[in-house]
Amino acid sequence: MSGTPKLAPDPDRQAALQATLEQRILVLDGAMGTEIQELKLDEAAFRGARFADWPSELKGDNDLLVLTQPDTIKAIHGDYLEAGADILETNTFNATRLSQADYGMEEIVPELNREAARLAREAAAAHSTPDKPRFVAGVLGPTSRTASISPDVTDPGFRNVDFEELRANYREAASALLEGGADLILVETVFDTLNAKAALFALDELFEEMGAGWPVMVSGTITDLSGRTLSGQTVEALFYSVRHAHLLSIGLNCALGPAELRAYVAELARIADTRVSAHPNAGLPNELGGYDLGPEAMAEHLEEWMASGLLNIVGGCCGTRPSHVARIAEAAAKYPPRPVPKLKPALRLSGLEPFVAQTAERDEPRADEGVAA
């Protein structure tokens, strides 16, 4: 595709990221949405001067705040950095054309992603030191569509999105995130692995055209205590489906609190020959939709995970605030990162369930092993 900017990752920051991951557990920030909700911004605040006459309601479009309330978003980033976060997530969870269509904001998607990354990059640079560099993860959310499941219970074969549309959405957003200064890409809250595979395909395509690659994290979400994603995969099957992408990390976030998520993170830590991340919710939602697990209790849960050698990257999702991240960061400083294991040679495939077929013994697995269905 013509017009793609020729970019390259900052070599110093990339070297610092890899070195820091070898030395300690990195701390991801907490929930941007929770912090925004606490501000109780009104419709006028979401619109700002630029969109004062927009024909539809904009309250709730949190991604738009990078344009209409940039100082507010940058201040939230700063609060998480002060709390001890090593990695900031850009405020771009819904910054794709598919998701912004709810507000009629499709045409500003590149600007949303570029400015969100720029704000996070400025905040990270202001708080970085030689001993504690800070990094920016450009967030690609799951979109408001699912490629594997029909939204119409009366028509199981119907789809309201296809792989190509998802690929184009993700490519546009990722290109702008990198242009804005993201150090890595985080494909997060994956409830449909086909959506994630479209994102990974788009990233491969983009990196090839740019002539350079950036680290990529993938974080799935287990939607309930069944231990499966919304599209039906187990944790092990999810990992084998994306293992070919040579990820910086594989992890889980959202939907569940730490008590409910631990078993699935432990499963990832057992099977993954890459780093493992987790940023759970602050418990399960209460009857009002809020989250009741406080900083001390959440950090206690996550400290046990770190003491058990399960994690390389840790943070918080819905309901977590700077106070949660501060306690998590204190706990993370006590423990070494999980060593990345070398898996025994095997053919690893995945559908809804994993399939592992042992092959002839060799000293090291081939680089192309783990091809997913």
| Structure confidence by residue, pLDDT tens digits, 194-240 | 999 999 999 999 999 999 999 999 999 998 888 999 999 999 999 99
Is residue 183 pLDDT above 50, yes or no? Answer: yes
Residue 81 lies in a domain: yes
Is residue 19 pLDDT above 50, yes or no? Answer: yes
Distances (CA, A) of 4 to 11, 111, 179, 240: 20, 15, 10, 31
Is residue 1 pLDDT above 60, yes or no? Answer: no
Residue 369 lies in a domain: no
**What beta strand segments (E) does 95-244 contain?**
135-140, 184-190, 216-220
Tokens representing 371?
A: 């091809």
- What is the Cα–Cα distance from 114 to 213, expressed in whole angstroms? 18
Question: Which residues form the domain of 163?
Answer: 11-343
Residue 167 lies in a domain: yes
Number of domains in the chain: 1
Residue 218 lies in a domain: yes
Residue 357 lies in a domain: no
| Mean pLDDT for the stretch of residues 280-289 | 91
Q: Which region holds residue 143: left if phi is over 0, alpha if psi is between -120 and 50, else beta?
A: left
Closest Cα partner for 331 from 137, 89, 127, 83? 83
Distances (CA, A) of 129 to 16, 85, 261, 332: 11, 13, 33, 19
Could you read off the pLDDT of 115-124 as tens digits, one per residue? Answer: 999 999 999 9
Residue 126 lies in a domain: yes
**What beta strand segments (E) does 39-153 contain?**
87-89, 135-140
Q: Residues near 12 by Cβ (< 8 Å), separated by ≥ 6? A: none
- What is the Cα–Cα distance from 108 to 94, expressed in whole angstroms? 12
User: What CATH number should be reported for the domain holding residue 101?
Assistant: 3.20.20.330
pLDDT confidence of residue 224: 86
Q: What are phi and psi of 169, to 5 degrees?
A: -60, -50
Residue 165 lies in a domain: yes
Is residue 372 pLDDT above 80, yes or no? Answer: no
- What is the Cα–Cα distance from 66 to 303, expressed in whole angstroms? 33
pLDDT confidence of residue 368: 42
Residue 98 lies in a domain: yes
Could you read off the pLDDT of 28-72 as tens digits, one per residue? Answer: 999 999 999 999 999 999 999 999 999 999 999 999 999 999 999
Q: Is the dihedral of CA 352, 267, 327, 219 positive or negative?
A: negative
Q: Are strands 346-350 and 354-358 parallel, antiparallel or unpaired?
A: antiparallel
pLDDT confidence of residue 3: 64
pLDDT confidence of residue 367: 41
Residue 259, classed as helix, strand or coil, is helix
> Given the structure tokens 């409910």, which residue do they identify?
260
